[in-house]
Chains A and B, each alone.
Chain A
Amino acid sequence: KAGVTQTPRYLIKTRGQQVTLSCSPISGHRSVSWYQQTPGQGLQFLFEYFSETQRNKGNFPGRFSGRQFSNSRSEMNVSTLELGDSALYLCASSLDATEYETQYFGPGTRLLVL
């Protein structure tokens, strides 16, 4: 079974631009979560989607948004990029959306904002 894939793997943008990151979950998985990792910080939860519905959102500004399609693929968008948005963005998928389900992580998209 193919794992979680994320595209692109690396991205360089300038301040003020917007960016869209893509995540394809493991086949059959319906829940997709997004995380941000910056130096000195742990993995910080952005949002979780299940069956095309955002079920939970972390403490991030409205510039961060996402969506999930009917095939469970998910995208996240960051508008009006700031230098502090430079980070590794990870998505993770799970079969269902319960507290004991293992999340399987993708390789991440490394975003650099100049």
Chain B
Amino acid sequence: ILNVEQSPQSLHVQEGDSTNFTCSFPSSNFYALHWYRWETAKSPEALFVMTLNGDEKKKGRISATLNTKEGYSYLYIKGSQPEDSATYLCAPAYSGAGSYQLTFGKGTKLSVIP
């Protein structure tokens, strides 16, 4: 069973603050890391798929970095807005035998206070 850790579990920030959270995962046979945003009463929505060591992705005010050798990724949100309130999930994927399985962490729940 893979151990995917996300920290912190929850976070409250003021509107306008920048914030970041961490996803840690086993690095052996790692192939790709997926980040999702899950707003209440909606479906999880894909943010990024990252595959390369040192990879950096950006989507508006949200960016992510990846360290495949040590098995972690950071997600950054610059100038948080109330609409950023959601649970952010990471899911590493591992190579092997044509099977495809994402193992999700429990997520970081972000609340942005207006």
**Once A and B bind, how many residue pairs between them come within 8 Å at the CB atom?**
72
Inter-subunit contact A48/B99 (CB<8 Å): yes
20 pairs across A/B with beta carbons < 8 Å? A33-B100, A40-B106, A42-B4, A42-B104, A42-B105, A42-B106, A43-B44, A44-B104, A45-B101, A45-B103, A48-B100, A50-B100, A55-B100, A90-B44, A98-B100, A100-B32, A102-B34, A102-B49, A103-B46, A104-B46
The verdict on A66 contacting chain B, using a C-beta distance below 8 Å, is no
Chain A interface (Cβ < 8 Å from any Cβ of B)? 3-4, 31, 33, 35, 40-45, 48, 50, 55-56, 58-59, 90, 92, 94, 97-108
Inter-subunit contact A100/B107 (CB<8 Å): no
Inter-subunit contact B1/A99 (CB<8 Å): no
Q: What band does the interface of chain B fall in when counting residues whose beta carbon is under 8 Å from A?
A: 20 to 34
Inter-subunit contact A102/B46 (CB<8 Å): yes
Within 8 A of A (CB), among B68-103: 89, 91, 93-95, 98-103
User: Shortest 9 CB-CB distances between A and B: which pairs?
Assistant: A99-B93, A99-B31, A42-B106, A105-B43, A43-B104, A56-B99, A97-B100, A100-B32, A102-B46
Within 8 A of A (CB), among B40-55: 42-46, 49, 51
Q: What residues of B have a CB within 8 angstroms of the CB of A104 in the complex?
A: 46
Inter-subunit contact A33/B31 (CB<8 Å): no
Given known pairs A42-B104, A43-B89, A50-B100, the reply for A59 and B34 (CB within 8 Å) is no
Q: What residues of A have a CB within 8 angstroms of the CB of B49 in the complex?
A: 100-102
* Closest chain A residue, CB of each to CB of B29: A99
Q: What residues of B have a CB within 8 angstroms of the CB of A33 in the complex?
A: 100-102
